[in-house]
Structure 1
């Protein structure tokens, strides 16, 4: 049994004609007939019934043709995978990402490197504007950034191409022994008398919050997200955290902290995007990495949907 024989029977089944199939495949009708006869003899079954007007599959032939189609698709996928592996050999990929997306990016890199071990990946964390600037300057292949409704205008630059990855509600992380841990959800007023650890990159949100609800007690301001969460685990502060970050968080899994929905007078949603520059080549490795990232995000969304009570 050979690949061309499978190709022939699939094409004949589709066209119901050996002559039309021969034209489509650029093979002589006698060559196709002979090849099909050899396959029928090898399998010991009749694949087609031939009449003066058409060549149609037998009942057993339909089953063989279905399997042949599956085999051809698998082979094409294998060839495409091999071609992609060859084309991505020794490629480099530069990614700039906002910190809240780093855990997802690392999971994506782990999966990606299993299939493309020779691709070198450089990842740099930065604030929202840092990611946009690096993309516009051409120093990164892909930027992973975030916006809220009031800052989506930042992505409107003519040189940027962007696509939404996911949206995430804002939660509040509190120590397990905090009085806030007993509440179902938290309002801005609930937070005013509790020390907060603040990530220094979220200054716009802090300014908006304090304008509407009054000053927050900012105990520490840091440029490391893990430190903000560690301070909650130690019972020093509360902090804000996107819902996408609650899965696999070690402090949550250890039972040291809990997270509560944060309710304001308007929906507080953080949207994450991938962006790239129109002036920088959109490489095969970047396209393939984004396919892997999209898959990881679909898994994340499924877990959040299945486990809505992680908090």
Structure 2
């Protein structure tokens, strides 16, 4: 068994497709299929159920996948540890980042970090907040930026942002001229909301239910804050966005109103407890936490 075979199998499991995995690995589809078949023969069990469009992981495949992640993770940690022993700040740092956060804060932060540490390459992948958390736990990323709360039994948490969420209302709406709106008064309103893969979806829905006993009526879902605000301006519903995003809005047909009780938006860098964090990773955490975004 070769480590490369396990890496290939992890990619197929990730994309649930030999074709997509082969594209990501930059190898031919027949070569990838041959490698997986050889792994199955060596282990004496079927790892994948292949169909025309997708590849489904078997129960045995899930066992192999769990060990493959541990083994490749240990190899990665070994390489990082050896690299750190050279005392050279070089290498690559894999970061998971929700799109909302990336567009708001990180272009400036990345530029400053690059100027300070030009030999560290930042490899950024944009996922929804919930998927970032899962990917850090599964060690796909060395670190991620997540919306709190997360399970602090699993993750180290380094807070970087805390601000309130605000209500976006069309200017012709009855609530538009209020300075603040109580959540209980929004029971009959329709909302432009975040997709389920975004942590804010669950956070806001839970907040509504806990404080007012209902969940918001969701008319449309989006992953783009500019589209969400434009839909509010078009009088399609209300929305709730962090203050930093609201400060960037230029729509003339929207009023921004405070919510009571306040919903806070808390961001943090997270790492998995027990995982070795490279010197480059620790340097990035110190850099971003020191100035706070």
Distance 1:234 1:281 in 2: 49
Distance 1:179 1:215, change over 3 A: same
Larger gyration radius, structure 1 or structure 2:
1
Matched, 1:277 2:272: yes
Matched, 1:131 2:132: yes
Name the structure 1 match of 2:204.
205
3-state SS of 1:181 partner: coil
Distance 1:177 1:288 in 2: 49
Contact kept? 1:173, 1:257, Cα under 8 Å: yes
Distance 1:126 1:221, change over 3 A: same
Gaps of 5+ in 1: 1-85, 301-311
Distance 1:163 1:296, change over 3 A: closer
Matched, 1:157 2:153: yes
1:97 is displaced (CA, Å) by 2.4
Distance 1:215 1:271, change over 3 A: closer
Gaps of 5+ in 2: 1-86
Q: Equivalent residues in 2 for 1:254-293 (5 A)?
A: 255-264=252-261, 267-293=262-288
Name the structure 1 match of 2:120.
119
Contact kept? 2:205, 2:215, Cα under 8 Å: no
3-state SS of 2:193 partner: strand
| TM-score, normalisation: structure 1 | 0.56
Distance 1:236 1:296 in 2: 39
Contact kept? 1:108, 1:296, Cα under 8 Å: no
3-state SS of 1:186 partner: strand
Name the structure 2 match of 1:17.
none
Name the structure 2 match of 1:142.
143
1:98 is displaced (CA, Å) by 3.2
Deviations 1:266-285 (A, max 9, x none): x5323222111234332232
Name the structure 2 match of 1:245.
245
Distance 2:119 2:172 in 1: 48
Distance 1:165 1:220, change over 3 A: same
Name whichever structure is richer in helix by fraction.
Answer: 1
Distance 1:204 1:277, change over 3 A: closer
Q: Equivalent residues in 2 for 1:231-242 (5 A)?
A: 231-242=231-242
Name the structure 1 match of 2:107.
106
Name whichever structure is richer in strand by fraction.
Answer: 2
Distance 1:286 1:188, change over 3 A: same
Q: Equivalent residues in 2 for 1:46-65 (5 A)?
A: none
